[in-house]
Amino acid sequence: MTANHIRELARRAGFELAGVAAATAAEDRTRYHEWVAAGRAGKMGYLTDRRAALRDDPRNLLAAACSVISVGKLYQTPWPHSTRFHDAERAWISRYAWGEDYHELMRRGLERLDGLLRESAGVPYESRICVDTAPLLERSYARLAGLGWIGRNTCLINQREGSWFFLGELLVSLPIPPDAPPPDRCGTCMRCVEACPTAALVPGQGLDATRCISYFTIELRGAIPQEHRAATGAHVFGCDICQDVCPWNGRAPVTADPAFAPRRFAPRLEELAAIGEEEFRAMFRGTPVVRARYSGFLRNVAVAMGNARQQKFRAPLEKLAESADPVVAEHARWALGRMVE
């Protein structure tokens, strides 16, 4: 069994990238724990609770693991990037959330890969599938498996194919000769750091989630810090700016997979402000957007309207300001205040 054979099986299972790393303690575990201790994970408890220690070693997830098979699935579609889209009446949703929820899609692909591997291995083995909900430092193992380097924007970057990839892992008890990590090719480039509206990328320290637009609009429950609301712009779910400006994504390929085609590309803010909770669930069912929850989504819509500063948004914002949810109401009042500045 070789890494090249694994790559061929992964291609047949629908993955564009694949490689193998040894299932040993992560090189980055100390840096990760320092990042957590510095408070840069914000209120994302799943990164800081008892599961933090599990991330140190894949054998905490599968005791018999010998190898980590890392895979990447391309999700970039031939639609504009956020840095090339300017329509003050519309909301921006992160590219990864335009189509089908990637968790199930990646799991199905990894199940296919596991099946193909069992057909060709010739011996029984133990395995475990991991997507990003598993406590595993997946970018670290993807780097060790040769899929790319971890860029200054903290994304895994492949030299030929950029960073628009979902990552997943198959832990196996098979000993497979590992791949080698590629060199870091960010060089002196600082485009992502300079482009981040909230200065969330700290050179030498990585991402400070407590300043990140994706954190504010997806993970944070409660109020978005006032000092960062204006910089959030039209983003109502996630942010892609640090990938949009990356030179390695300048010629990145696009996928024809219909699972990633946008169901509702850049929906109108007025429409989003008027939807009820059941409409929200129906509109975004089966996509990652539901993670923001209805109240969090309306909070984000209110901020985006305030940043657009269009008088046509005054009426929907006044209605949101009367919301029974105090967080939604407060953000709508803040947005109305932006109309008169």
Which of the residues are catalytic? 132
Parallel/antiparallel/unpaired status of strands 92-93 and 235-237? parallel
3-state helix, strand, coil in the chain (%, to 5): 45, 15, 45
Around Cβ 195, how many Cβ atoms within 10 Å?
15
Q: Please give the sequence-ordered ranges of beta strands (E in DSSP) within the chain, or none if there are none.
A: 17-22, 67-74, 92-93, 127-130, 149-150, 156-157, 165-172, 201-202, 206-207, 235-237
Q: Cα–Cα distance between 189 and 191 in angstroms, integer?
A: 6
Instruction: Give the integer Cα–Cα distance in Å for 57 and 47.
Output: 15
Give the count of beta carbons closer than 10 Å to the beta carbon of residue 4. Answer: 13
- Report how far residue 62's alpha carbon sits from residue 210's, in angstroms, rounded to the nearest whole number: 32
